[in-house]
């Protein structure tokens, strides 16, 4: 079944995801050699989303746009691109693939994009926005797809985890298998709310498995509810992961959230 991201553009979870993605990619690109950089997005969604002046936007991206930008490469890059889109006639918030493509170009490499989504609307929008993409497929990516192992970096950003309420979402088993891919990656997982809590895997189970596969896990708790808001699971060079943790800590402090980090030394 086809599913599509329904999130409001630029909410708090989006910003944590995109700042972490940009920081990890920036670190990878600083050390990259060659002419091309291959980026894979397994749940690409749309290349951009109309900005809606919702509560999520005001407490997420809009709040971060109004502060003095610190000397962190990912924050400066994010701020520059989101600020630029706001001045357009029809302002939009960039999707993950747009952030990635432009960052790759900024570093002087030619982007090779591998993009998957099950929604025909999203796939058509991706093809229009990225006509030079190496691959855009309307299907749920399989972990044994050889294209994935060609990537220099993989983003796994599902709309959620399969549950009784959302049988169309990807299964936890398929997501867990992606953790074992021999590539650097970021997996962003929204935590279940009262409507999706019927899924059969807890954030503790996710954390334990991820750490055993040499991924660092950062968990962010929302300040307004005290609930765990999202998990960020990532693998890269230790120095790059350290920089990503510092960005997450800075944003958590700025947004008055709490962030905790777990790695192989935690177990």
Q: Percent of the chain, pLDDT > 70?
A: 92
CATH hierarchy code of domain 12-266: 3.40.50.150
pTM comes to 0.93
| Residues paired with residue 261 on neighbouring β-strands, in sequence order | 218
Query: Mean per-residue pLDDT for 159-169?
Result: 85
The end-to-end CA distance of the chain, in Å, is: 38
Lowest-pLDDT range, 46-50, 87-91, 233-237?
A: 87-91
pLDDT the model gives residue 192:
60
**Is a pLDDT exceeding 70 seen at residue 157?**
yes
For the stretch 182-208, pLDDT in tens is: 999 999 998 765 444 455 688 899 999
Q: Percent of the chain, pLDDT > 90?
A: 67
**Is a pLDDT exceeding 90 seen at residue 228?**
no
Q: What is the chain's mean pLDDT, rounded? A: 89
Does residue 101 contact residue 22 with C-beta atoms inside 8 Å?
Answer: no
pLDDT the model gives residue 194:
47
Q: Are strands 135-138 and 153-156 parallel, antiparallel or unpaired?
A: unpaired
- pLDDT band of residue 67 (cuts 50, 70, 90) is confident
Nearest residue to 215 via CA among 152, 151, 257, 154: 154
pLDDT the model gives residue 201:
83
**Is a pLDDT exceeding 80 seen at residue 8?**
no
Nearest residue to 32 via CA among 205, 159, 152, 210: 152
Query: Mean per-residue pLDDT for 154-181?
Result: 90
Lowest-pLDDT range, 26-30, 69-73, 107-111, 171-175?
A: 69-73
- pLDDT band of residue 251 (cuts 50, 70, 90) is very high
Nearest residue to 257 via CA among 121, 59, 77, 100: 59
pLDDT the model gives residue 191:
73
Query: Mean per-residue pLDDT for 150-172?
Result: 90
Query: Mean per-residue pLDDT for 5-22?
Result: 84
DSSP the chain: ------PPTT-HHHHHHHHHHHHHHHHHHHH--SSEEEEEETT---SEEE----HHHHHTHHHHHTSPPPS-HHHHHHHHHHHHHHTSSS-EEE-HHHHHHHHHHHTT-EEEEEEEES-HHHHHHHHHH-TT-SEEEESPPPTT-HHHHH-SEEEE--S----SS-TTSPPHHHHHHHHTSSS-EEEEEEPP-TTTTT-S--HHHHHHHHHHTT-EEEEEE-TTT--EEEEEEEES-HHHHHHHHHHHHHHHHHTT-EEEEE-GGG-
Place of tokens 């334990």: 208
């Amino acid at each position: 079944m086809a599913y599509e991201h329904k999130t409001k553009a630029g909410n708090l979870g989006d910003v944590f995801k995109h700042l972490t993605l940009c920081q990890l990619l920036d670190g990878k690109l600083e050390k990259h050699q060659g002419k091309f950089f291959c980026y894979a997005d397994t749940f690409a969604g749309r290349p951009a989303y109309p900005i809606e002046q919702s509560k999520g936007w005001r407490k997420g991206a809009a709040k971060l746009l109004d502060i003095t930008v610190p000397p962190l490469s990912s924050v400066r890059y994010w701020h520059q691109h989101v600020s630029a889109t706001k001045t357009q006639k029809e302002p939009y918030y960039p999707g993950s693939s747009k952030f990635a493509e432009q960052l790759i170009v900024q570093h002087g490499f030619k982007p090779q994009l591998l993009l998957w989504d099950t929604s025909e609307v999203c796939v058509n929008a991706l093809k229009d926005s990225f006509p030079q993409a190496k691959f855009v497929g309307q299907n749920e990516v399989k972990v044994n797809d050889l294209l994935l192992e060609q990537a220099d970096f993989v983003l796994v950003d599902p709309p959620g985890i399969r549950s009784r309420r959302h049988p169309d979402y990807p299964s936890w088993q398929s997501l867990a298998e992606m953790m074992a891919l021999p590539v650097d990656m970021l997996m962003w997982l929204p935590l279940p709310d009262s409507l999706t809590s019927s899924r059969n895997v807890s954030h503790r189970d996710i954390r334990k498995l991820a750490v055993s596969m040499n991924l660092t896990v950062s968990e962010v708790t929302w300040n307004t509810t005290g609930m765990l808001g999202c998990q960020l699971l990532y693998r890269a060079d230790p120095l790059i992961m350290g920089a990503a943790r510092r960005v997450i800590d800075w944003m958590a402090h700025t947004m008055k959230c709490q962030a905790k980090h777990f790695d192989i030394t935690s177990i």
